[in-house]
Amino acid sequence: MPASTRHHRALAVLVHCLGILAAVPALPSAAPEAAAAPRPPAVTPQPAMSTPQPARTAPPPTTVMPAPARANPPVAVALTAEPTPPSAPPAVAPPSRAPASAPPARVTVAVAPESSPAPRYRIHVRNVSSLPVDTTVRQELPAGSTPTAISAGGQATRGGAAAEVTWRLKLPAHSTTTLGTALTATAPGQPITAPACAFTSDGSRPYDCATATWHAAAAPAAEAKQAPPWQRIPVLLAGLAALLLLSAVVLVVWRLRRGRRVTASALASAEGTDGGRGTIYPRPAAPVPTTRRRTPPVWLLVGAAVVVLAGILGAAGWTATRQVAAIDTDKQPTSGAWMGTGMSGPVGVPLRESAFEFTVYRMSCGTAGSVGRADGGGTAGRRCQATVGVRNVTGAQQPWHGQLQRAYLPGGRWVSTDESATRAANLGRDVFADPMAAGTRMVLPLVFTVDGRDPPRQLELRSGVFSAGVRVDMP
């Protein structure tokens, strides 16, 4: 019966298609673990194809179980890599870079001044790692001071205009070493700042730095020199008020005396006509001559006006002089488009601007002509390396850029950070690539390539284009 056979075949195909369509929607509802795990159906069809051999139906548990174990790694990789969607559509900007944090230092440094008549410092160097560390400790000395006492092993050296004390130490694991120095005071009562840093054994890369300022013992304050009386505003105002009061008293007295003279003259004229006796009949009214009322003398008015004018001009001139004298011509502009307050200071003093707190601990320069055209310099010059501490004092991550860090040379010329040399000094790490995390601190070398024989006179460090920044004077 060929017609019946065709109908049965069509019905079988239709049922088979309906079964496939009913099974397809259930595939996405599988558990995530099933998608990552190896699928047994991918391996079990092989024994299914050999079903005509009934004698081999018993061993499948022993022969089939190792097969998924061998096919497990490639199947899992293919399944996990295939459904993974892209992290972001092409039209969406890439996520922001993670803030950079300084690697943990193996050596930490702390500096503390002593309470003594002469400047004295204690330097605590601690190895926080579990291995011995070879380190070089350097303490910068302020200009004009020389060491009078150094703890065992230290040597005083002078490089150019700056002097320093150097120790070469081998720190055991988890140990602390205390060093000490005593200096000569540059000026009586003047505070002295002396920073110290711990470097690697070759002295190229800093582990950590610290600074401290020694203050002389409090001395009785000298009496403030008072200004002359004619330069004090209260005295001038009191004198002006006294002059006005005196002028008013003189005017009142003059008017009273003038009134008494007029009354006396009128009575005297009345007594002279009738001899002091009265009359029965009224006298005819006699014309009374009109007299013009007298005003204060001109010299009195002019004198009072001159005194008042002189007092006003004197007070205005004195106030203007004080305000002009209080203007600091060396201060950087801090209004308008600048953010924060510009600050200046010497080496070793923390200076804070809008986002960062900068501390320059040390500046060292190579020999003149050590950098040539082959090293990337335009002209023959040398490289100066500044050891700088940077702290993010804000509550958010802050980026900063190497082109904004400048070294000013004599004559007003300046150069920006040599980023390739700075990256090499930081063991290949680009310190400007990632923003600084909130509240973090880094101690790192910044390299400037300068030309000529004169070292930089000043460093300008800033966190942003519109930041007022800080200026550090080099010794």
In-domain check, residue 5: no
Same domain, 347 and 466: yes
176-191 per-residue burial string, b: 16 or more CB within 10 A, e: under 16? ebebebebebeeeeee
* pLDDT confidence bin for 349, thresholds 50/70/90: very high
Looking at residue 323, its pLDDT comes to 64
Looking at residue 196, its pLDDT comes to 94
pLDDT value at 434 more than 60: yes
Same domain, 238 and 309: yes
pLDDT value at 72 more than 60: no
Asked if 75 contacts 32 with a C-beta cutoff of 8 angstroms, the reply is no
Cα 440 to Cα 100, 157, 384, 392, 399: the distances in Å are 9, 33, 26, 6, 13
Poorest-confidence range of 158-162, 213-217, 447-451, 463-467? 158-162
pLDDT, average across residues 42-66: 42
In-domain check, residue 114: yes
pLDDT value at 89 more than 80: no
222 or 464, higher pLDDT:
464
Supply the CATH number for residue 435's domain: 2.60.40.1240
Looking at residue 66, its pLDDT comes to 43
* pLDDT confidence bin for 269, thresholds 50/70/90: low
Task: Give the percent of the chain with pLDDT over 70.
Answer: 63
Task: Give the percent of the chain with pLDDT over 90.
Answer: 33
Looking at residue 9, its pLDDT comes to 77
Same domain, 144 and 245: no
Give the span between the Cα atoms of 460 and 412, in whole angstroms.
Answer: 12
Give the span between the Cα atoms of 302 and 165, in whole angstroms.
Answer: 75
Mean residue pLDDT of the chain comes to 74
Same domain, 170 and 239: no
Same domain, 376 and 459: yes
Same domain, 390 and 323: no
Same domain, 315 and 396: no
Give the count of domains, the chain.
3
In-domain check, residue 337: no
In-domain check, residue 69: no
Same domain, 313 and 349: no
pLDDT, average across residues 109-131: 92
Task: Summarize pLDDT for 383-422 with one digit per residue, the tens.
Answer: 999 999 999 999 999 999 999 999 999 888 999 999 999 9
Same domain, 314 and 429: no
Looking at residue 146, its pLDDT comes to 87
Same domain, 414 and 382: yes
Of the three residues 187, 214, 241, the one that is the final residue of a domain is 214
- Strands 470-473 and 343-345 come out as parallel
Looking at residue 110, its pLDDT comes to 95
pLDDT, average across residues 433-441: 91
In-domain check, residue 294: no
In-domain check, residue 319: yes
pLDDT value at 373 more than 90: no
* pLDDT confidence bin for 441, thresholds 50/70/90: very high
Same domain, 426 and 393: yes
Same domain, 383 and 409: yes
Of the three residues 261, 293, 327, the one that is the final residue of a domain is 327
In-domain check, residue 285: no
Greatest mean pLDDT range, 69-83, 108-122, 180-194, 249-263: 108-122
Domain containing residue 138: 107-214
Task: Summarize pLDDT for 142-191 with one digit per residue, the tens.
Answer: 888 889 999 888 888 876 557 899 999 999 999 999 999 999 887 777 88
Supply the CATH number for residue 192's domain: 2.60.40.10
pLDDT, average across residues 94-104: 55
Poorest-confidence range of 69-73, 169-173, 231-235? 69-73
In-domain check, residue 35: no
pLDDT, average across residues 77-82: 40
